[in-house]
């Protein structure tokens, strides 16, 4: 059984979320229908909306269910900036960057923390729509949102927060709008939400049709995924402080072991998510590390994508000014239910893998797959 250390890609399902999704899946009605089964489905949808509103300092009418955070970010950038210049953090998720190709990118420092002076200077130039994430999915860097929100208020700017990572493990993020995602909380994939806490005016949907979600997002809502999202959020908020306290020492032990084996812990000067370590092995491509760890039964991910014969360095790490290290970093992200034994498995496997790869692969760059390694014998 693989040791799963890739929670920032998708958290394992939480039992309460699975139960809620299963119960919702058994319902027949469409929440838009007026008959009894429709009303039962509608009651479940309303209850999920109320749960999220309570957790996120919003009103039920502020919650627009979407298919996930990619859509929530795209909807925010489509609907809200009218007449404003758009400023986005340089390390935002691709779903934000792709939805705002001509936005001004706000610089970050070497730890991935947004430059508040640059933000203030850009905000002083006129009405703005600002999109900055609560925490980075690759590095775990937590952004100084209270200070940024104060700046945005002072300049009358709209603040959109991609709140996908770390939700429930710290204060509820500020912002006029938030994007959240079910499968990053331990719910099923297929549901997320755009939370519209600020004044929006008339809906400007990306997907028009039957007028669901008060005109903001047409389509029959995926009730099971939404019920799972609400239950996952409830569980994540309830367990957040205890999970933070349990995961941080495991994360620190992983960082210490990796540093002892020659890795560089990135973003180490920033406040970080308790579950995330971003580890660069100088001279060794990220994809080679991910493959070697996978063959040892440990699932992590790379900040670099390999395609067309080239390693594409992560835009996040590149924006942090990390040069070649941007193509040599892996992300280890502990899931909510990670055990000490799973952290130990990484700590036991990493030094030998790092030594072997540093010896074998240092040198020519490219995207050729390293020679396959022997699979560990089955226990």
Q: Which among 66-74, 257-265, 296-304, 310-318 is the span making contact with ligand PLP, rule CB under 6 A? A: 66-74
Of 143 and 181, the one with the shorter C-beta distance to ligand PLP is: 181
Mask: binding to ligand PLP, 19-58, rule CB under 6 A, as x and -? ----------------------------------------
Q: Which among 148-156, 157-165, 222-230, 235-243 is the span making contact with ligand PLP, rule CB under 6 A? A: 157-165
Other residues' Cβ atoms within 10 Å of the Cβ of residue 134: 25
- The minimum distance between CB 195 and ligand PLP, in angstroms, equals 14
Q: Does 314 bind ligand PLP (CB under 6 A)?
A: no
Angle made by CA atoms 219, 66, 303, in degrees to the nearest 5 = 140
Q: Does 91 bind ligand PLP (CB under 6 A)?
A: no
Q: From start to end of 189-317, where are the E strands?
A: 192-196, 264-265, 276-280, 298-299, 301-302, 305-307, 310-312
Q: Could you give the strand order of the β-sheet that contains 329-333, starting from the edge strand earlier in sequence?
A: 264-265, 276-280, 329-333, 301-302
306 is catalytic: yes
Residue tagged active-site, from 152, 278, 306, 367:
306
Classify the C-alpha dihedral 51-52-56-61 as positive or negative.
negative
- The minimum distance between CB 197 and ligand PLP, in angstroms, equals 18
Other residues' Cβ atoms within 10 Å of the Cβ of residue 352: 12
Q: Which among 24-32, 63-71, 211-219, 369-377 is the span making contact with ligand PLP, rule CB under 6 A? A: 63-71
Mask: binding to ligand PLP, 258-277, rule CB under 6 A, as x and -? --------------------
User: 218 in helix, strand or coil?
Assistant: coil
Q: Does 95 bind ligand PLP (CB under 6 A)?
A: yes
Q: Segment 185-214, which members bind ligand PLP (CB under 6 A)?
A: 192
In terms of C-beta density within 10 A (0-12 exposed, 13-18 middle, 19 or more buried), how is residue 182 classed? Answer: buried
d(CA 92, CA 69) in angstroms, rounded, equals: 12
Of 276 and 354, the one with the shorter C-beta distance to ligand PLP is: 276
Mask: binding to ligand PLP, 158-187, rule CB under 6 A, as x and -? ----x-xx---------------x------
d(CA 295, CA 299) in angstroms, rounded, equals: 9
Of 24 and 75, the one with the shorter C-beta distance to ligand PLP is: 75
Of 31 and 188, the one with the shorter C-beta distance to ligand PLP is: 188
Q: From start to end of the chain, where are the E strands?
A: 3-4, 63-66, 85-89, 104-106, 128-133, 158-162, 177-181, 192-196, 264-265, 276-280, 298-299, 301-302, 305-307, 310-312, 329-333
Residues that bind ligand PLP (CB under 6 A): 68-70, 93, 95, 133, 137, 162, 164-165, 181, 192
State the catalytic residues. Answer: 306
């Amino acid at each position: 059984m693989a040791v799963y250390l890739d929670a920032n890609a998708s958290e394992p399902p939480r039992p309460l979320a699975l139960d809620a999704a299963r119960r919702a899946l058994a319902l027949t009605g469409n929440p838009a229908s007026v008959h009894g089964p429709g009303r039962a489905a509608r009651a479940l949808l309303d209850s999920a909306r109320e749960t999220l509103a309570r957790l996120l300092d919003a009103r039920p009418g502020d919650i627009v269910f979407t298919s996930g955070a990619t859509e929530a970010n795209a909807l925010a950038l489509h609907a809200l900036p009218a007449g404003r210049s758009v400023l986005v953090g340089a390390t935002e998720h691709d779903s934000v960057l792709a939805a705002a190709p001509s936005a001004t990118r706000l610089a970050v420092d070497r730890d991935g923390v947004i430059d508040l002076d640059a933000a203030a200077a850009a905000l002083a130039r006129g009405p703005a729509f600002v999109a900055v994430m609560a925490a980075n999915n690759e590095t775990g860097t937590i952004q100084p949102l209270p200070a940024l929100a104060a700046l945005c208020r002072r300049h009358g700017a709209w603040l959109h927060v991609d709140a996908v990572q770390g939700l429930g493990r710290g204060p509820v993020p500020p912002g006029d709008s938030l994007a959240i995602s079910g499968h990053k909380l331990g719910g099923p994939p297929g549901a997320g939400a755009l939370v519209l806490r600020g004044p929006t005016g008339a809906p400007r949907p990306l997907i028009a049709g039957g007028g669901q979600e008060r005109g903001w997002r047409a389509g029959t809502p995926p009730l099971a995924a939404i019920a799972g999202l609400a239950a996952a959020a409830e569980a994540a908020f309830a367990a957040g402080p205890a999970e933070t306290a349990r995961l941080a020492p495991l994360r620190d032990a992983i960082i210490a072991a990796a540093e002892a084996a020659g890795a560089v812990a990135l973003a180490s000067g920033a406040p970080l998510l308790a579950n995330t370590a971003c580890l660069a092995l100088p001279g060794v491509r990220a994809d080679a590390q991910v493959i070697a760890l996978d063959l040892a039964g440990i699932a992590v991910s790379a900040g670099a994508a390999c395609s067309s014969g080239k390693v594409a360095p992560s835009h996040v790490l590149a924006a942090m000014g990390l040069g070649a290290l941007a193509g040599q970093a892996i992300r280890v992200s502990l899931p909510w239910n990670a055990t000490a034994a799973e952290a130990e498995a990484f700590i036991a496997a990493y030094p030998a893998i790092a030594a072997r790869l540093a010896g074998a692969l240092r040198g020519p760059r490219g995207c050729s797959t390293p020679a396959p390694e022997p699979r560990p014998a089955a226990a």
